[in-house]
């Protein structure tokens, strides 16, 4: 699969052969759905919490006698049908939402997501974002230049989740340059996953000669050092 590499001015600088086992995998809706929902569940932090009837305050004695009042029978004001009582089947912060994701499923879902993005023309390969010092104006100018490439017109005008920037290696200056832009997220190529890829409209991969082999090793189930 022959793909084009661009520079930060939006001009073609060369081509490279994208491996089929990473960018040519058939779409698998069930697999991607299972992996992405599991990742979202693992990232979930339960906050909402209600109390059972045994945890609320008060209600130690019977509100009124069992018989003779003409009213319904009640044994405690902690009952869920009383105002201020406990809650039945409410959210609890001790509930576990985590799901195990097998390594092969995670790797296959990554390849499927990358393949779909490339097929839809939503992956842009850039030669380098190397910066000696943080400069938001420069990366913003680069994004505007990328929006001139056919198929990437929404990159400059989309206000949220416009692009996921995948750097070949950690770069504090580059990461800080993108930090002030609210419509893009910058991370290392080794950290991208199906959920983050599909969440953004575009995926911009820096230095494919280094980044793609890392993706290839992840898809094949090997580790990088």
Closest CA to 208 of 13, 26, 11: 13
Mean pLDDT for 42-51 is 92
User: Do 153 and 57 share a structural domain?
Assistant: no
pLDDT at 60 over 90: no
On the CB side of 214, CA atoms within 13 Å amount to 19
- Say what the pLDDT of residue 224 is: 44
Mean pLDDT for all residues in the chain: 92
User: Do 160 and 141 share a structural domain?
Assistant: yes
* Residue at 225 is within a domain: no
pLDDT at 82 over 90: yes
- Say what the pLDDT of residue 222 is: 52
Q: What percent of the chain has pLDDT over 90?
A: 86
User: Do 147 and 176 share a structural domain?
Assistant: yes
Last residue of a domain, which of 55, 81, 96? 96
* Residue at 202 is within a domain: yes
User: Do 209 and 192 share a structural domain?
Assistant: yes
Q: What is the count of structural domains for the chain? A: 2
User: Do 182 and 140 share a structural domain?
Assistant: yes
Instruction: Give residue 225's pLDDT band: very low, low, confident or very high (50, 70, 90).
Output: very low
* Residue at 224 is within a domain: no
Q: Which residues contact 16 (CB under 8 A, 6 or more apart)?
A: 2, 3, 5, 125, 208, 209, 212
Euclidean distance between CA atoms 113 and 115, whole angstroms: 5
Per the DSSP assignment, residues forming a β-bridge with 3 are: 16
* Residue at 187 is within a domain: yes
Domain coverage including residue 52:
47-96
* pLDDT tens-digit map of 139-197: 999 999 999 999 999 888 888 999 999 999 988 999 999 999 999 999 999 999 999 99
Mean pLDDT for 87-112 is 94
pLDDT at 223 over 80: no
Last residue of a domain, which of 69, 96, 123? 96
User: Do 65 and 36 share a structural domain?
Assistant: no
- Say what the pLDDT of residue 109 is: 96
Are the CB atoms for 182 and 160 separated by under 8 Å? Answer: yes
Euclidean distance between CA atoms 6 and 145, whole angstroms: 10
User: Do 208 and 116 share a structural domain?
Assistant: yes
């Amino acid at each position: 699969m022959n793909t084009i590499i661009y520079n930060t001015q939006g001009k073609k600088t060369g081509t490279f052969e994208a491996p089929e086992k990473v960018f040519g995998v058939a779409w698998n809706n069930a697999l991607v759905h299972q992996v992405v929902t599991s990742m979202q569940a693992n990232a979930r932090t339960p906050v909402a919490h209600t109390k059972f009837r045994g945890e609320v305050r008060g209600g130690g004695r019977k509100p009124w006698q069992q018989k003779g009042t003409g009213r319904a029978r009640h044994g405690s004001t902690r009952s869920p049908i009383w105002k201020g009582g406990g809650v039945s089947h409410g959210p609890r912060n001790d509930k576990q939402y985590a799901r195990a994701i097998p390594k092969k499923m995670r790797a296959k879902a990554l390849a499927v997501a990358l393949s779909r993005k490339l097929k839809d023309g939503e992956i842009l390969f850039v030669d380098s974002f190397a910066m000696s010092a943080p400069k938001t104006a420069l990366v913003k100018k680069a994004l505007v230049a990328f929006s001139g490439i056919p198929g990437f017109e929404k990159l400059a005008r989309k206000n949220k989740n416009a692009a996921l920037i995948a750097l070949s290696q950690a770069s504090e200056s580059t990461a800080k340059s993108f930090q002030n832009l609210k419509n893009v997220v910058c991370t290392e190529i080794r950290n991208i996953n199906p959920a983050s890829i599909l969440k953004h409209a575009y995926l911009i991969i820096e230095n494919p000669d280094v980044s793609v082999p890392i993706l290839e090793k992840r898809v094949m189930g090997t580790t990088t050092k």
